[in-house]
Chains A and B, each alone.
Chain A
Amino acid sequence: MKVSDVMSLIDARNLTPDVALDRDVTCGYVCDLLSWVMAHGEEGMAWVTVQTHLNVVAVAALAEMACVILPEGIVMEQESLDKATSEGMCVLSSNLTAYEICGRIAAQGIPAHA
């Protein structure tokens, strides 16, 4: 499943229009504690979080995740979005809750670990 497939699955909009949506999503995760995510983040991960500051992008990029997903219509500040774009990290925003987002992605067979 590609990031573009996840985007339509969870009715999300792409906050980083200059980033390609062709990365493979191989696993999913939801957590707002960044140091916890650093310990458990994996390559190809779709990561759901309500955090929007710059360090979110750094964590996602360093762990080589597929995308960051913000639930409940949360918008990321422009500074973070600019950094995400320069890092090639896609940031999606969906009006669904984190629970609903994970439920929809998991129902498509995307596991917790790749």
Chain B
Amino acid sequence: MEELFRIAYPVASADYTSAGQASTDIKRRLKQLGVGGDVLRRVAVASYEVELNLVIHSLGGELVLSVFPDAVQLVSTDVGPGIPDLSMAMREGYSTANEEARSLGFGAGMGLPNMKRNADEFDIQSQVGTGTTITMRFKLPT
């Protein structure tokens, strides 16, 4: 289906001060486009989780919001380091977050499971040394 809207947000590694800015803007823009209710809330939660994952775990990356007539899509790509064991990373309670992230209250090992729970479609591809790509889709009510 035709893409109606697209915007990319660069996300810097370990930048905890700006963390959440992309998600806040995504929520604002979707509201302007008339997305609301349960879908808006689920996109907001998932975009924040994926943005924070880029800040905490990646060497830097990008979050892209696309809006289609029937769905909202979020794609997160990064330049590494990649996830060695995806099945462990998807497990609730498992985290490799560092001390700085944990001191701020992150690193409970809820990020990826929470994204999967909130998205209607969730896909994660990762290669150590190359990077990780997460694609999430949220169906819009017809």
Q: A35–B19 contact, CB under 8 A? A: no
How close is B55's CB to chain A, nearest CB, in angstroms? 10
A53 within 8 Å of B by Cβ?
yes
- Mostly, the A contact residues are helix
Interface pair B110/A62, CB less than 8 Å apart:
no
Q: Is the interface of B mostly helix, strand, loop or mixed?
A: helix
Specify which chain B residues have a CB less than 8 angstroms from the CB of A37 in the assembled complex.
Answer: 105
Q: How many A-B residue pairs have CB under 8 A?
A: 70
> In the complex, A63 Cα to B107 Cα: how many Å?
19
Q: Does B17 contact A (CB under 8 A)?
A: yes
What are the residues of chain A within 8 A of B104 when measuring CB–CB? 34, 51, 53, 55
B41→A43 contact, CB < 8 A = yes
- A36's partner among B48, B110, B117 (CB-CB below 8 A) is B110
Beta-carbon contact of A55 and B19 below 8 Å? yes
